[in-house]
């Protein structure tokens, strides 16, 4: 008995010490709220999932995550404590303490900060490259935004403001202030950390490019000073460790490290707030203001939206791969009667993603539906928070579901896998577009015509390319979104849907929370299929090719003893080799089908038959997804050479001119 009492006392003392030590990180309350089950957690006292319906509510209360455990899922390089106030004039005033841990093997003497709101300032690289337009939206004249750092100090109170200076490593534009660096007072050794405290003011533009205000609606995306990614050797094939630093460009999105966020959001009393993570306690009211407290871990960004007009609906959901999640809708009043459509799309998408790829690791998913005049805030992804298409009509078509499932798919490829969207945007957008098609087909029976989509590809460019180096915004979208998706679809066509599902799941499982590269994806493909895919990746990922299988020429010659000898020249003008079918149709109505392995650049086939050949067609089943020039897949024998040449040239000019007007 004495030993048992001593053991109990020792355990109690250790537990108390651990609890006290957690307070210095500021997360003691959040930890308790996140992992303690509610009093009604007894399965006998809780309704079954099918008995729970979405219940409108005037105000969301604190969230209690549905899973009681807290595995550490990422390397948690950063830890942010932010307190932000939305002022009456729409500006944000904030204080922030951020701790950065050196994940490398060398001492680090400099730190880099992304100051993204400065992209909306005159002369910025973003505005120069975009021309004040993005995804069909235009920036209102004179509606500039900015971020002003008011103070920057060490944990000991030493000011670092004189050390701060802006850098422009991508284009040398001295007017661009979206990236800053500073020399630290002392270097940070491997595995050690440094804590900085700062205060800043953000002037929000009228909603444009994922951020700003529209009336009393606010979208705060990329709104705080964010530490850049320090990549250890081996990350994305990197030979030596160092900072990955880029400015905010007209066609780029973002890249950041995983960490912990504790964010206090102070808004006027009438506002409701949607945010990354979960709410740790009921909002506090004081002096006509309302203060929310949110917490998130193992995420690489934090976004939030606020409006007094939100219609709020919440439901719980679980399925295979979705251990338990609260789905929270913040809907513009125009769509208040469409909550069932939003909820069904969100639940169905999560269920499929969990089944196909792996667990959704978070306890919440928030969906924000912006008002019509905040279109630029729509269709965007943040960890555990997505924005749907803006509410422009009270009777939207399937664009409502398509936009929402696309953004929820981003939770896996952008949110959890977390590729570098500056340098390899297709690993997010292409993968998400591919998954979007899968979700729409599985849930709603809506499938795209990939052969028509391939025909839109008038200017293919490499997929592994810095986003601002594409020749235009249209070609960035054309390649990163559409051609990236088609590359995955082409791969699926070759290996089969079942094997492709294994590839995508293996990639997600291996590289979740890891920042992988195109080369990492290739390794997974080769591991699953047990084949080499170098030619495929070189052609379609690194060189920006499309496939082009063609019937080059046909020569049918009568023989003295009767019958005909026909010579057909097949040619592969682009892409990597793959087997294709070839159909030969003779004048007497007979058809012969052959297979060409497609590995050579050209193949000459000779056929002997009692009748002359009428025509030949390569890939008549359209199995080569990336062939965007199908007019030359078919050739008739009897067309004279000069006429055929002129016909090919004129058809080519007509088709390319037409498709050039359709390309997105």
Residues annotated within a binding site: 406, 410, 429
123 Cα distance to chain centroid: 28
Cβ-based burial of 658 (10 A; exposed 0-12, middle 13-18, buried ≥19): exposed
User: Two tokens at 358?
Assistant: 């792996």
* 3-class secondary-structure state, position 186: strand
What is the rounded CA–CA span in Å between residue 446 and residue 348? 14
What is the rounded CA–CA span in Å between residue 192 and residue 194? 7
The active-site residue, picked from 112, 481, 549, 615, is: 481
User: Two tokens at 307?
Assistant: 């409006």
What is the rounded CA–CA span in Å between residue 476 and residue 250? 10
Q: Clarify whether 381 is annotated catalytic.
A: no
SS3 content of the chain, % helix, strand, coil (to 5): 30, 30, 40
DSSP class of 67: -
Nearest CA-CA partner of 414 in 299, 251, 327: 299
Cβ-based burial of 71 (10 A; exposed 0-12, middle 13-18, buried ≥19): exposed
Q: Clarify whether 407 is annotated catalytic.
A: yes
Nearest CA-CA partner of 453 in 476, 485, 427: 485
* 3-class secondary-structure state, position 635: strand
Asked if 200 and 173 touch (Cβ cutoff 8 Å), the reply is: no
Cβ-based burial of 333 (10 A; exposed 0-12, middle 13-18, buried ≥19): middle
What is the rounded CA–CA span in Å between residue 474 and residue 663? 8
Residue identified by tokens 């990336």 is 626
3-state secondary structure 546-603: CECEEEEEEEEEECCCCCEEEEEEEEECCCCCCCEEEEEEECCCCEEEEEECCCCCEE
Q: Which residues pair with 286 in a beta bridge?
A: 289
| Residues 6+ away with beta carbon under 8 Å from 259 | 74, 76, 77, 78, 79, 80, 297, 299, 300
User: Two tokens at 58?
Assistant: 């005037």
What is the rounded CA–CA span in Å between residue 32 and residue 105? 34
3-state secondary structure 252-280: CCCCCCCEEEEEEEEEECCCEEEECCEEC
Asked if 584 and 607 touch (Cβ cutoff 8 Å), the reply is: yes
The active-site residue, picked from 311, 381, 407, 424, is: 407
What is the rounded CA–CA span in Å between residue 259 and residue 508? 19
Q: Which residues pair with 616 in a beta bridge?
A: 584, 635
Q: DSSP string covering 449-509, please?
A: -HHHHHHT-SS---SSS-GGGSSSHHHHHIIIIIIHHHHHHHHHHHH-HHHHHHHHHHHHH
What is the rounded CA–CA span in Å between residue 405 and residue 384? 13
User: Two tokens at 571?
Assistant: 């040619």
Annotated binding-site positions for Zn(2+): 406, 410, 429
The set of catalytic residues is 407, 481
């Amino acid at each position: 008995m004495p030993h048992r009492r001593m053991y109990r006392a020792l355990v109690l003392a250790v537990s108390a010490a651990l609890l006290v030590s957690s307070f210095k990180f500021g997360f003691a309350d959040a930890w308790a709220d996140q992992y303690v089950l509610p009093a009604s957690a007894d399965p006998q006292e809780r309704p079954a999932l099918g008995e729970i319906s979405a219940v409108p509510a005037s105000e969301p209360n604190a969230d209690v995550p549905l899973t009681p455990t807290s595995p550490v899922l990422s390397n948690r390089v950063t830890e942010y404590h932010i307190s932000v106030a939305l002022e009456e004039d729409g500006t944000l005033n904030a204080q922030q303490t951020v701790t950065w841990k050196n994940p490398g093997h060398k001492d680090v003497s400099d730190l880099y900060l992304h100051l993204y709101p400065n992209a909306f300032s005159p002369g910025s690289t973003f505005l120069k490259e975009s021309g004040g337009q993005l995804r069909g939206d235009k920036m209102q004249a004179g509606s500039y935004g900015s971020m002003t750092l008011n103070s920057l100090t060490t944990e000991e109170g030493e000011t670092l403001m004189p050390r701060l200076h802006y850098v422009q490593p991508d284009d040398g534009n001295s007017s661009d202030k979206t990236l800053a660096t500073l020399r630290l007072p002392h270097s940070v050794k491997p595995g050690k950390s440094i804590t900085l405290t700062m205060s800043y003011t953000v002037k929000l533009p009228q909603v444009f490019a994922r951020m700003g205000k529209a009336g009393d609606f606010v979208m705060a995306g990329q709104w705080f000073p964010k530490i850049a990614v320090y990549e250890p050797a081996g990350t994305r094939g990197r030979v030596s460790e160092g900072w990955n630093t880029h400015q905010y460009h007209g066609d780029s999105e973002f890249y950041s490290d995983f960490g912990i966020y504790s964010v206090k959001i102070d808004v006027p009393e009438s506002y409701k707030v949607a945010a990354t993570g979960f709410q740790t306690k009921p909002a506090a009211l004081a002096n006509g203001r309302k203060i929310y407290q949110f917490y998130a871990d193992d995420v690489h960004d934090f976004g939030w939206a606020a409006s007094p007009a939100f219609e709020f609906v919440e439901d719980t959901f679980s399925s295979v791969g979705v251990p338990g999640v609260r789905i929270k809708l913040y809907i513009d009043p125009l769509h208040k009667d469409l909550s069932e459509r939003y909820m069904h799309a969100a639940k169905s998408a999560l269920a499929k993603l969990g089944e196909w790829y792996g667990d959704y690791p978070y306890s919440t998913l928030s969906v924000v539906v912006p008002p019509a005049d905040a279109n630029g805030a729509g269709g965007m992804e943040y960890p555990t928070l997505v924005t749907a298409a803006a509410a422009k009509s009270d009777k939207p078509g399937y664009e409502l579901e398509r936009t929402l499932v696309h953004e929820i798919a981003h939770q896996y490829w952008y949110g959890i896998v977390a590729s570098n969207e500056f340098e390899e945007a297709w690993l997010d957008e292409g993968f998400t577009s591919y998954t979007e098609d899968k979700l729409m087909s599985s849930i709603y029976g809506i499938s795209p015509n990939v052969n028509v989509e391939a025909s839109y590809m008038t200017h293919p460019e490499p997929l592994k390319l810095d986003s601002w180096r594409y020749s235009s915004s249209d070609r960035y979208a054309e390649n990163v979104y559409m051609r990236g998706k088609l590359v995955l679809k082409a791969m699926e066509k070759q290996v089969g849907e079942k094997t492709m599902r294994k590839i995508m799941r293996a990639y997600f499982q291996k590289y979740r929370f890891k920042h992988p590269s195109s080369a990492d994806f290739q390794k997974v493909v080769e591991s699953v299929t047990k084949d080499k895919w170098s030619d495929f990746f070189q052609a379609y990922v690194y060189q920006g090719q499309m496939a082009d299988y063609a019937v080059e020429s046909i020569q049918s010659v009568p023989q003295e003893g009767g019958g005909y000898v026909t010579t057909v020249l097949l040619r592969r003008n682009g892409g990597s080799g793959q087997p294709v079918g070839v159909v030969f149709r003779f004048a007497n109505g007979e058809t012969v089908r052959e297979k060409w392995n497609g590995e050579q650049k050209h193949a000459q086939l000779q056929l002997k038959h009692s009748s002359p050949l009428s025509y030949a067609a390569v890939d008549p089943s359209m199995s080569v997804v990336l062939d965007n020039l199908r007019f030359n897949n078919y050739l008739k024998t009897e067309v004279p050479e000069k006429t055929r040449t002129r016909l090919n040239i004129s058809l080519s000019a007509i088709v390319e001119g037409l498709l050039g007007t359709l390309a997105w």
